[in-house]
Amino acid sequence: MAAIVSITDLRKTYAGGFEALKGVSLDIEEGEILALLGPNGAGKTTLISAVCGITTPTSGRITVGGHDVTTEFRAARSLIGLVPQEISLEPFEKVMWTVRFSRGLFGKRRDDAHVEKVLRQLSLWDKRDTQVKALSGGMKRRVLIAKALSHEPRVLFLDEPTAGVDVELRKDMWQMVHGLKQEGVTIILTTHYIEEAEAMADRVGVISRGELLLVERKAELMHRLARKELKIELPTPLRELPASLSRYQLQRSDDGRTLVYTYEANAETSGIGVLLRDLHEAGIAVADVRTHQSSLEDIFVDLVKEDVT
């Protein structure tokens, strides 16, 4: 599929000398949901700001729908909807008005039918004549999304869409994102909630300290990096591991009642069979076994840790 957003060697150094982006290259395919994961200050928002025209890149090239964001900024920005991280809204405006205003800013003729559709989608229709300042935090975030969707964007950026949002709204948001994907909208979201990336994304990119560490299909990433753990509970504490078991690199818990065996989830043979046989031969009785598959979160923590060290 063609890339709808193409970023080449993007660098951003702020006036104070802080290097927020250190040469990021990334192609985002039309119609996909890409989650950008990274700790606070990793450069996620700077990356989005550069694509959307809020920050001027120090160097590098960005195109949206084939249009360069600097030289053909009108064509490029018309395709983009942005939901910022901070809740920034005119407090005295009514919901309907502020959404209409956004549509106008993006050069679209007034279309109350579309605005109504967006407001209904976000359960804001009943609040259309309410002043923004009278809304709850979650509702305000919905208004931000309505503003971004008001001009029918092809690409939607959601910067930390569910930060500080209650469970119900989070579920609604996920549903809405999937709905937009059905309509063919490309969605880029940043988050540091791993479960969000796991629930929504087709691909996952990991950013740390201004560098894109990897971008991969979520399933492949989990497949490639996932490890499994086998926990073996012992009926009697084990003081010392017998030498015959050393090749399994077992971890013994402090109380000696648990052994942990780690193996690649997709290795050809797990080695569990021989391990259990060797345990038996070494005279170690087994009370219970449990397996645990590492989540995206574990993978992510490992990646960022490696990057720091």
Q: Which residues bind other proteins (CB under 8 A)?
A: 14-15, 49, 52-56, 73-78, 80, 82, 84, 86, 88-93, 97, 100-110, 147
Among candidates 223, 296, 301, 299, which has minimal Cα distance to 265?
223
The CB-of-246 to other proteins minimum distance in angstroms stands at: 56
DSSP state at residue 71? T
Q: Compare residues 44 and 218 and give the one whose CB is closer to other proteins.
A: 44
The CB-of-108 to other proteins minimum distance in angstroms stands at: 6
Number of Cβ within 10 Å of residue 97's Cβ equals 16
Q: Are 157 and 82 in contact (CB under 8 A)?
A: yes
The CB-of-55 to other proteins minimum distance in angstroms stands at: 5
Measured in degrees and rounded to the nearest 5, phi and psi for residue 85 equal: -70, -45
Q: Compare residues 43 and 279 and give the one whose CB is closer to other proteins.
A: 43
For residues 37 and 193, give the distance between their C-alpha atoms in angstroms, rounded to a whole number: 8
Q: Compare residues 109 and 239 and give the one whose CB is closer to other proteins.
A: 109
Q: Are 161 and 173 in contact (CB under 8 A)?
A: yes
The CB-of-233 to other proteins minimum distance in angstroms stands at: 54
Q: Compare residues 105 and 134 and give the one whose CB is closer to other proteins.
A: 105
Q: Compare residues 15 and 113 and give the one whose CB is closer to other proteins.
A: 15
DSSP letters along 130-158, please?
SBGGGS-HHHHHHHHHHHHHTT--SEEEE
Tokens of 202: 């087709």
Q: Compare residues 63 and 258 and give the one whose CB is closer to other proteins.
A: 63
The CB-of-158 to other proteins minimum distance in angstroms stands at: 14
DSSP state at residue 72? T
The CB-of-82 to other proteins minimum distance in angstroms stands at: 5
Find the helix or strand (DSSP H, E) in which 230 lies. strand 227-233
Tallying the residues shown for the chain, one arrives at 309
Tokens of 209: 């300290």
Find the helix or strand (DSSP H, E) in which 272 lies. helix 272-281
Find the helix or strand (DSSP H, E) in which 12 lies. strand 3-13
Q: Compare residues 20 and 299 and give the one whose CB is closer to other proteins.
A: 20
Q: Compare residues 108 and 227 and give the one whose CB is closer to other proteins.
A: 108
Phi-psi region of 101 (alpha: psi -120 to 50; beta: other; left: phi over 0): alpha
The CB-of-15 to other proteins minimum distance in angstroms stands at: 8
